[in-house]
Homo-oligomer: A and B are copies of this chain.
Amino acid sequence: MRDTIGNNNSDLTEMNRSAVVKILQQREVCSRADIAKQMGLTQASITKIVAALMEMGIVSEVGIMKGNGNRRSIGLKLNTDMHQIIGVKFARHMFGVGVFDISGKIYTQTETEYSIDEDHQSVIAAMKKQIYDMLDQYKNVVAIGLAVPGPYLKDDGHIAVITQMPAWHDINFIEEFKDEFNKPLYIVHDANAGALAEWWFGDHERPIHTLAYFLVGEGVGSGIIENGNLLLGVQGAASEIGHISIDFQGLRCECGNYGCLELYCSAQAMLKKARQHVPECLSESYPKSIEACNVVFEAARGGNQKALEIVKEVAEYIGYGCVTLINAYNPDIIVIGDSVSQGGDLLLPTIMEVVKQRTIPELCDRVQIKISSLKVDPTLYGAAAIATDKVVRMPSAFLAVEK
Protein backbone atom coordinates (compact mmCIF):
# COMPACT_ATOMS: atom_id res chain seq x y z
CA MET A 1 0.00 0.00 0.00
CA ARG A 2 1.19 3.52 -0.63
CA ASP A 3 2.36 5.38 2.44
CA THR A 4 -0.11 8.26 2.22
CA ILE A 5 -3.14 9.48 4.16
CA GLY A 6 -5.60 9.22 1.30
CA ASN A 7 -6.67 5.94 -0.22
CA ASN A 8 -7.58 5.32 -3.83
CA ASN A 9 -9.36 2.36 -5.37
CA SER A 10 -6.25 0.25 -5.84
CA ASP A 11 -5.36 0.73 -2.15
CA LEU A 12 -8.85 -0.50 -1.32
CA THR A 13 -8.46 -3.53 -3.57
CA GLU A 14 -5.11 -4.39 -2.01
CA MET A 15 -6.50 -4.04 1.55
CA ASN A 16 -9.28 -6.46 0.71
CA ARG A 17 -6.96 -8.94 -1.04
CA SER A 18 -4.74 -8.81 2.01
CA ALA A 19 -7.69 -9.48 4.32
CA VAL A 20 -8.64 -12.56 2.26
CA VAL A 21 -5.07 -13.87 2.39
CA LYS A 22 -4.95 -13.34 6.18
CA ILE A 23 -8.18 -15.28 6.66
CA LEU A 24 -6.87 -18.17 4.57
CA GLN A 25 -3.55 -18.02 6.38
CA GLN A 26 -5.37 -18.59 9.68
CA ARG A 27 -8.04 -21.07 8.54
CA GLU A 28 -6.34 -23.29 5.96
CA VAL A 29 -9.47 -24.11 3.92
CA CYS A 30 -12.41 -21.75 3.58
CA SER A 31 -15.33 -21.12 1.22
CA ARG A 32 -16.11 -17.83 -0.50
CA ALA A 33 -19.26 -17.56 1.64
CA ASP A 34 -17.22 -17.93 4.86
CA ILE A 35 -14.86 -15.21 3.76
CA ALA A 36 -17.72 -12.90 2.74
CA LYS A 37 -19.30 -13.35 6.15
CA GLN A 38 -16.10 -12.74 8.05
CA MET A 39 -15.24 -9.64 6.03
CA GLY A 40 -18.71 -8.13 5.96
CA LEU A 41 -18.69 -7.86 2.15
CA THR A 42 -21.04 -9.31 -0.46
CA GLN A 43 -20.24 -12.70 -1.95
CA ALA A 44 -19.99 -11.02 -5.36
CA SER A 45 -17.18 -8.79 -4.11
CA ILE A 46 -15.36 -11.78 -2.63
CA THR A 47 -15.72 -13.76 -5.86
CA LYS A 48 -14.02 -10.91 -7.69
CA ILE A 49 -11.18 -10.61 -5.14
CA VAL A 50 -10.63 -14.38 -5.10
CA ALA A 51 -10.58 -14.52 -8.91
CA ALA A 52 -7.74 -11.99 -8.94
CA LEU A 53 -5.83 -13.91 -6.25
CA MET A 54 -6.27 -17.16 -8.22
CA GLU A 55 -5.12 -15.44 -11.37
CA MET A 56 -1.97 -14.33 -9.50
CA GLY A 57 -1.36 -17.92 -8.34
CA ILE A 58 -1.80 -17.01 -4.67
CA VAL A 59 -5.00 -18.99 -4.01
CA SER A 60 -6.31 -22.32 -5.35
CA GLU A 61 -9.56 -24.23 -5.24
CA VAL A 62 -9.37 -27.55 -3.38
CA GLY A 63 -12.60 -29.42 -4.08
CA ILE A 64 -15.92 -29.45 -2.32
CA MET A 65 -16.45 -28.72 1.39
CA LYS A 66 -19.64 -28.90 3.41
CA GLY A 67 -20.96 -25.65 4.78
CA ASN A 68 -23.91 -24.66 6.96
CA GLY A 69 -27.19 -26.50 6.39
CA ASN A 70 -25.34 -29.13 4.33
CA ARG A 71 -24.82 -26.71 1.47
CA ARG A 72 -21.77 -27.68 -0.55
CA SER A 73 -19.27 -25.08 -1.56
CA ILE A 74 -15.84 -24.95 -3.12
CA GLY A 75 -12.94 -24.82 -0.68
CA LEU A 76 -10.17 -22.30 -1.15
CA LYS A 77 -6.62 -22.49 0.13
CA LEU A 78 -3.41 -20.48 -0.03
CA ASN A 79 -0.67 -21.85 -2.27
CA THR A 80 1.66 -21.65 0.70
CA ASP A 81 4.52 -23.67 -0.78
CA MET A 82 4.91 -21.09 -3.52
CA HIS A 83 5.78 -18.42 -0.95
CA GLN A 84 8.69 -19.20 1.26
CA ILE A 85 10.26 -16.95 3.85
CA ILE A 86 13.75 -17.00 5.33
CA GLY A 87 13.91 -16.15 9.01
CA VAL A 88 17.21 -15.16 10.61
CA LYS A 89 17.80 -14.83 14.34
CA PHE A 90 20.85 -12.95 15.53
CA ALA A 91 21.51 -13.35 19.26
CA ARG A 92 24.26 -13.24 21.83
CA HIS A 93 26.45 -16.37 21.28
CA MET A 94 24.48 -17.72 18.30
CA PHE A 95 22.61 -17.08 15.12
CA GLY A 96 19.93 -19.20 13.46
CA VAL A 97 18.60 -19.38 9.92
CA GLY A 98 15.36 -21.11 8.93
CA VAL A 99 13.18 -21.55 5.87
CA PHE A 100 9.39 -21.37 6.36
CA ASP A 101 6.33 -20.77 4.24
CA ILE A 102 3.69 -18.13 4.87
CA SER A 103 1.52 -20.60 6.80
CA GLY A 104 4.37 -21.01 9.29
CA LYS A 105 5.45 -24.49 8.14
CA ILE A 106 9.16 -25.02 8.68
CA TYR A 107 11.33 -26.58 5.95
CA THR A 108 14.78 -26.41 7.52
CA GLN A 109 16.76 -24.61 10.19
CA THR A 110 20.37 -24.29 11.31
CA GLU A 111 22.00 -22.90 14.44
CA THR A 112 25.55 -21.57 14.58
CA GLU A 113 27.39 -20.67 17.75
CA TYR A 114 30.06 -18.01 17.96
CA SER A 115 32.19 -16.57 20.71
CA ILE A 116 31.20 -13.19 22.12
CA ASP A 117 34.77 -12.02 21.40
CA GLU A 118 34.64 -13.02 17.74
CA ASP A 119 35.12 -10.29 15.13
CA HIS A 120 31.73 -8.92 14.00
CA GLN A 121 32.55 -8.92 10.35
CA SER A 122 33.33 -12.62 10.35
CA VAL A 123 30.08 -13.38 12.20
CA ILE A 124 28.12 -11.28 9.70
CA ALA A 125 29.92 -12.93 6.78
CA ALA A 126 28.98 -16.35 8.15
CA MET A 127 25.33 -15.29 8.51
CA LYS A 128 25.24 -14.00 4.94
CA LYS A 129 26.80 -17.15 3.57
CA GLN A 130 24.15 -19.31 5.21
CA ILE A 131 21.37 -17.09 3.84
CA TYR A 132 22.86 -17.38 0.33
CA ASP A 133 23.03 -21.14 0.72
CA MET A 134 19.34 -21.25 1.69
CA LEU A 135 18.43 -19.04 -1.27
CA ASP A 136 20.29 -21.47 -3.55
CA GLN A 137 18.40 -24.40 -2.14
CA TYR A 138 14.91 -22.89 -1.83
CA LYS A 139 13.76 -21.15 -4.98
CA ASN A 140 10.41 -19.75 -3.80
CA VAL A 141 11.69 -17.37 -1.15
CA VAL A 142 9.74 -14.11 -1.39
CA ALA A 143 11.14 -12.23 1.60
CA ILE A 144 13.60 -12.37 4.47
CA GLY A 145 13.06 -11.41 8.12
CA LEU A 146 15.86 -10.69 10.59
CA ALA A 147 15.43 -10.54 14.38
CA VAL A 148 18.05 -8.82 16.50
CA PRO A 149 18.27 -8.06 20.24
CA GLY A 150 16.47 -4.90 21.36
CA PRO A 151 16.23 -1.97 21.87
CA TYR A 152 16.73 -1.84 18.09
CA LEU A 153 16.37 1.60 16.46
CA LYS A 154 14.38 0.88 13.33
CA ASP A 155 15.41 3.89 11.21
CA ASP A 156 19.03 4.09 12.37
CA GLY A 157 19.55 0.36 11.87
CA HIS A 158 21.47 -0.29 15.02
CA ILE A 159 20.95 -1.70 18.52
CA ALA A 160 20.85 1.04 21.17
CA VAL A 161 22.09 -1.14 24.04
CA ILE A 162 23.24 -4.73 23.76
CA THR A 163 24.31 -5.87 27.21
CA GLN A 164 27.45 -8.08 27.27
CA MET A 165 28.29 -7.18 23.64
CA PRO A 166 28.69 -3.40 23.51
CA ALA A 167 30.89 -3.55 20.40
CA TRP A 168 27.85 -4.62 18.34
CA HIS A 169 26.27 -1.24 19.10
CA ASP A 170 27.99 0.23 16.02
CA ILE A 171 26.86 -2.37 13.50
CA ASN A 172 24.32 -0.93 11.07
CA PHE A 173 22.05 -3.85 10.24
CA ILE A 174 20.21 -1.93 7.54
CA GLU A 175 23.44 -1.18 5.65
CA GLU A 176 24.74 -4.70 6.16
CA PHE A 177 21.64 -6.61 5.07
CA LYS A 178 18.96 -4.49 3.41
CA ASP A 179 20.18 -4.62 -0.19
CA GLU A 180 22.33 -7.74 0.03
CA PHE A 181 20.00 -10.42 -1.27
CA ASN A 182 17.75 -8.78 -3.86
CA LYS A 183 14.73 -9.75 -1.76
CA PRO A 184 12.66 -7.54 0.54
CA LEU A 185 14.22 -7.79 3.99
CA TYR A 186 12.61 -6.69 7.28
CA ILE A 187 14.35 -6.20 10.60
CA VAL A 188 12.67 -6.34 13.98
CA HIS A 189 13.90 -6.76 17.53
CA ASP A 190 13.70 -10.19 19.16
CA ALA A 191 10.76 -9.57 21.49
CA ASN A 192 8.69 -8.04 18.69
CA ALA A 193 9.61 -11.07 16.56
CA GLY A 194 8.35 -13.36 19.32
CA ALA A 195 5.11 -11.37 19.55
CA LEU A 196 4.56 -11.71 15.80
CA ALA A 197 5.27 -15.45 15.95
CA GLU A 198 2.70 -15.88 18.69
CA TRP A 199 0.22 -13.64 16.86
CA TRP A 200 0.56 -15.46 13.53
CA PHE A 201 1.43 -19.01 14.48
CA GLY A 202 0.64 -19.47 18.21
CA ASP A 203 -1.98 -21.94 19.38
CA HIS A 204 -4.33 -19.49 21.15
CA GLU A 205 -8.03 -18.90 21.24
CA ARG A 206 -8.87 -16.06 18.85
CA PRO A 207 -9.66 -13.26 18.27
CA ILE A 208 -6.97 -11.65 20.42
CA HIS A 209 -7.16 -7.89 20.99
CA THR A 210 -3.84 -7.15 22.71
CA LEU A 211 -1.03 -9.74 22.88
CA ALA A 212 2.06 -9.28 25.04
CA TYR A 213 5.04 -11.53 24.36
CA PHE A 214 7.35 -11.54 27.38
CA LEU A 215 10.85 -12.61 26.38
CA VAL A 216 12.85 -13.85 29.35
CA GLY A 217 16.18 -15.09 28.09
CA GLU A 218 19.69 -13.70 28.04
CA GLY A 219 17.99 -10.34 27.73
CA VAL A 220 14.51 -9.45 28.93
CA GLY A 221 12.09 -7.65 26.64
CA SER A 222 8.54 -7.58 25.39
CA GLY A 223 6.59 -7.15 22.18
CA ILE A 224 3.04 -5.80 22.13
CA ILE A 225 0.54 -6.31 19.31
CA GLU A 226 -2.73 -4.39 19.53
CA ASN A 227 -5.36 -4.91 16.84
CA GLY A 228 -2.83 -6.63 14.59
CA ASN A 229 -0.22 -3.88 14.78
CA LEU A 230 3.09 -3.90 16.67
CA LEU A 231 3.45 -1.10 19.21
CA LEU A 232 6.68 0.49 17.99
CA GLY A 233 7.12 3.98 19.36
CA VAL A 234 8.81 6.62 17.27
CA GLN A 235 12.13 4.74 16.97
CA GLY A 236 10.87 1.17 17.24
CA ALA A 237 12.07 0.92 20.85
CA ALA A 238 8.70 0.73 22.63
CA SER A 239 7.85 -2.01 25.14
CA GLU A 240 11.36 -2.37 26.59
CA ILE A 241 10.03 -4.04 29.72
CA GLY A 242 13.54 -5.28 30.52
CA HIS A 243 14.67 -1.71 31.15
CA ILE A 244 11.65 -0.60 33.15
CA SER A 245 12.82 -0.28 36.72
CA ILE A 246 11.20 -2.29 39.48
CA ASP A 247 13.33 -0.55 42.12
CA PHE A 248 14.41 3.04 41.57
CA GLN A 249 17.15 2.53 44.16
CA GLY A 250 18.34 -0.75 42.62
CA LEU A 251 21.62 -1.62 40.90
CA ARG A 252 22.71 0.35 37.85
CA CYS A 253 22.06 -1.24 34.44
CA GLU A 254 24.15 -0.76 31.29
CA CYS A 255 21.24 1.25 29.85
CA GLY A 256 21.69 3.95 32.49
CA ASN A 257 18.60 3.12 34.53
CA TYR A 258 18.62 1.63 38.05
CA GLY A 259 16.86 -1.56 39.10
CA CYS A 260 15.93 -2.69 35.57
CA LEU A 261 13.83 -5.87 35.52
CA GLU A 262 16.46 -7.51 33.30
CA LEU A 263 18.92 -7.42 36.23
CA TYR A 264 16.62 -9.66 38.27
CA CYS A 265 15.22 -12.37 36.03
CA SER A 266 17.34 -12.77 32.90
CA ALA A 267 19.28 -15.96 32.24
CA GLN A 268 22.39 -14.00 33.24
CA ALA A 269 20.81 -13.20 36.60
CA MET A 270 20.00 -16.89 37.06
CA LEU A 271 23.57 -17.86 36.23
CA LYS A 272 24.83 -15.45 38.90
CA LYS A 273 22.47 -16.87 41.48
CA ALA A 274 23.43 -20.41 40.49
CA ARG A 275 27.15 -19.64 40.88
CA GLN A 276 26.40 -18.32 44.34
CA HIS A 277 23.99 -20.91 45.67
CA VAL A 278 24.38 -24.13 43.69
CA PRO A 279 27.95 -23.99 42.35
CA GLU A 280 28.13 -27.77 42.66
CA CYS A 281 25.59 -28.11 39.85
CA LEU A 282 27.64 -26.02 37.44
CA SER A 283 30.59 -27.62 35.74
CA GLU A 284 33.50 -25.45 34.65
CA SER A 285 32.30 -25.81 31.11
CA TYR A 286 29.05 -23.84 31.56
CA PRO A 287 29.95 -20.54 30.09
CA LYS A 288 26.47 -19.88 28.84
CA SER A 289 23.56 -18.69 30.89
CA ILE A 290 21.01 -20.61 28.82
CA GLU A 291 22.57 -23.86 29.95
CA ALA A 292 22.78 -22.60 33.52
CA CYS A 293 19.01 -22.11 33.48
CA ASN A 294 18.41 -25.67 32.45
CA VAL A 295 20.78 -26.97 35.09
CA VAL A 296 18.96 -25.02 37.81
CA PHE A 297 15.55 -26.17 36.57
CA GLU A 298 16.74 -29.76 36.49
CA ALA A 299 18.15 -29.54 40.01
CA ALA A 300 14.88 -27.97 41.21
CA ARG A 301 12.87 -30.77 39.60
CA GLY A 302 15.15 -33.21 41.42
CA GLY A 303 14.19 -31.59 44.73
CA ASN A 304 17.35 -29.46 45.37
CA GLN A 305 16.08 -26.89 47.90
CA LYS A 306 18.51 -24.15 46.93
CA ALA A 307 17.67 -24.56 43.28
CA LEU A 308 13.96 -24.41 44.17
CA GLU A 309 14.56 -21.14 46.00
CA ILE A 310 16.35 -19.64 42.99
CA VAL A 311 13.46 -20.67 40.76
CA LYS A 312 10.89 -19.18 43.13
CA GLU A 313 12.79 -15.91 43.35
CA VAL A 314 13.11 -15.62 39.57
CA ALA A 315 9.41 -16.48 39.17
CA GLU A 316 8.50 -13.65 41.55
CA TYR A 317 10.44 -11.17 39.44
CA ILE A 318 8.83 -12.50 36.27
CA GLY A 319 5.52 -11.99 38.10
CA TYR A 320 6.39 -8.35 38.78
CA GLY A 321 7.14 -8.04 35.07
CA CYS A 322 3.69 -9.45 34.24
CA VAL A 323 2.06 -6.94 36.62
CA THR A 324 3.88 -4.13 34.81
CA LEU A 325 2.81 -5.52 31.41
CA ILE A 326 -0.82 -5.58 32.61
CA ASN A 327 -0.73 -2.00 33.89
CA ALA A 328 1.14 -0.76 30.84
CA TYR A 329 -0.73 -2.57 28.04
CA ASN A 330 -3.85 -4.28 29.50
CA PRO A 331 -3.38 -7.38 27.29
CA ASP A 332 -5.82 -10.27 27.00
CA ILE A 333 -2.88 -12.66 26.74
CA ILE A 334 0.73 -12.70 27.98
CA VAL A 335 2.95 -15.39 26.45
CA ILE A 336 6.25 -16.00 28.23
CA GLY A 337 9.03 -17.29 26.01
CA ASP A 338 12.76 -17.85 25.57
CA SER A 339 15.27 -19.67 27.74
CA VAL A 340 14.04 -18.95 31.27
CA SER A 341 10.58 -20.08 30.26
CA GLN A 342 11.96 -23.64 29.91
CA GLY A 343 11.11 -23.92 33.58
CA GLY A 344 7.46 -23.25 32.73
CA ASP A 345 5.67 -25.59 35.12
CA LEU A 346 8.07 -24.63 37.94
CA LEU A 347 7.57 -20.91 37.38
CA LEU A 348 3.88 -20.49 36.56
CA PRO A 349 2.29 -21.07 40.01
CA THR A 350 4.44 -18.36 41.63
CA ILE A 351 3.95 -15.99 38.69
CA MET A 352 0.17 -16.41 38.92
CA GLU A 353 0.22 -15.86 42.67
CA VAL A 354 2.16 -12.59 42.32
CA VAL A 355 -0.14 -11.36 39.55
CA LYS A 356 -3.25 -12.23 41.53
CA GLN A 357 -1.93 -10.42 44.57
CA ARG A 358 -0.73 -7.30 42.79
CA THR A 359 -3.19 -6.52 39.99
CA ILE A 360 -6.61 -4.94 39.92
CA PRO A 361 -9.02 -7.93 40.04
CA GLU A 362 -10.92 -6.98 36.86
CA LEU A 363 -7.68 -6.81 34.86
CA CYS A 364 -6.26 -9.95 36.45
CA ASP A 365 -9.41 -11.94 35.63
CA ARG A 366 -9.27 -10.91 31.99
CA VAL A 367 -5.67 -11.80 31.19
CA GLN A 368 -4.45 -15.26 30.32
CA ILE A 369 -0.81 -15.98 31.16
CA LYS A 370 0.92 -18.89 29.48
CA ILE A 371 4.28 -20.27 28.51
CA SER A 372 5.04 -20.29 24.78
CA SER A 373 4.29 -23.64 23.23
CA LEU A 374 5.62 -22.94 19.77
CA LYS A 375 7.60 -25.85 18.35
CA VAL A 376 10.14 -23.47 16.82
CA ASP A 377 12.27 -20.87 18.67
CA PRO A 378 9.86 -17.88 18.87
CA THR A 379 12.53 -15.39 17.85
CA LEU A 380 13.51 -17.33 14.71
CA TYR A 381 9.87 -18.03 13.98
CA GLY A 382 9.15 -14.36 14.54
CA ALA A 383 11.83 -13.33 12.08
CA ALA A 384 9.82 -15.30 9.53
CA ALA A 385 6.59 -13.81 10.90
CA ILE A 386 7.69 -10.20 10.34
CA ALA A 387 8.36 -10.97 6.68
CA THR A 388 5.08 -12.91 6.43
CA ASP A 389 3.21 -10.02 8.03
CA LYS A 390 4.65 -7.61 5.47
CA VAL A 391 4.08 -9.68 2.35
CA VAL A 392 0.48 -10.60 3.14
CA ARG A 393 -0.30 -6.90 3.52
CA MET A 394 0.64 -6.46 -0.14
CA PRO A 395 -0.23 -9.72 -1.87
CA SER A 396 -0.19 -8.36 -5.42
CA ALA A 397 3.31 -6.97 -4.97
CA PHE A 398 4.89 -9.90 -3.18
CA LEU A 399 2.89 -13.07 -3.69
CA ALA A 400 1.94 -13.05 -7.36
CA VAL A 401 3.58 -16.06 -9.00
CA GLU A 402 5.32 -15.54 -12.33
CA LYS A 403 3.92 -17.81 -15.02
Given the complex of chains A and B, what is the CA–CA distance between A328 and B235 in angstroms? 12
Chain B proximity of A361: nearest CB distance (Å): 8
- Contact between chains at B256 and A358 (CB < 8 Å): yes
The 8 closest A-B pairs by CB, nearest first: A233-B330, A4-B40, A6-B39, A6-B41, A238-B330, A234-B332, A209-B234, A237-B330
Interface residues of A in 136-180 (CB under 8 A from B): 151, 153, 156, 160-161
Q: Which residues of B contact A210 (CB under 8 A)?
A: 232-234, 238
Cβ of A397 under 8 Å from chain B: no
Interface residues of A in 90-126 (CB under 8 A from B): none
Q: Which residues of B contact A11 (CB under 8 A)?
A: 12
Quick check: which of A68-76, A194-202, A244-252 contacts chain B, the rest being far away?
A244-252
Q: Which residues of B contact A41 (CB under 8 A)?
A: 4, 6, 8
- Contact between chains at B235 and A226 (CB < 8 Å): no
Q: Which residues of B contact A237 (CB under 8 A)?
A: 330, 360, 362-363
Quick check: which of A56-64, A319-327, A336-344 contacts chain B, the rest being far away?
A319-327
Q: Decide: A236 near B330, CB < 8 A? Known: A6-B45, A320-B248.
A: yes
Q: What residues of chain A have their CB less than 8 Å away from a CB belonging to chain B?
A: 2, 4-9, 11-12, 15-16, 19, 23, 38-41, 45, 151, 153, 156, 160-161, 209-210, 226, 231-241, 243-249, 255-258, 320, 323-324, 327-332, 357-363, 366
Report which residue of A45, A161, A237, A239 has the largest number of chain B beta carbons within 10 angstroms of its beta carbon. A237
Given the complex of chains A and B, what is the CA–CA distance between A327 and B245 in angstroms? 9
Q: Which residues of B contact A240 (CB under 8 A)?
A: 327-328, 330
Q: Which residues of B contact A151 (CB under 8 A)?
A: 330, 360, 363
Contact check: which of B23, B244, B245, B359 meets A256 at CB < 8 Å? B359
Given the complex of chains A and B, what is the CA–CA distance between A358 and B240 in angstroms? 14
- Contact between chains at B360 and A255 (CB < 8 Å): yes
Contact check: which of B38, B231, B357 meets A5 at CB < 8 Å? B38
Q: Decide: A15 near B7, CB < 8 A? Known: A244-B327, A330-B236.
A: yes
Given the complex of chains A and B, what is the CA–CA distance between A4 and B41 in angstroms? 8
Chain B proximity of A217: nearest CB distance (Å): 18
Given the complex of chains A and B, what is the CA–CA distance between A328 and B246 in angstroms? 13
Taking A4-B40, A245-B358 as known contacts, 8 extra A-B pairs with beta carbons closer than 8 A to each other, sorted by chain A number, are: A151-B363, A226-B232, A231-B231, A233-B330, A244-B327, A247-B247, A256-B358, A257-B323
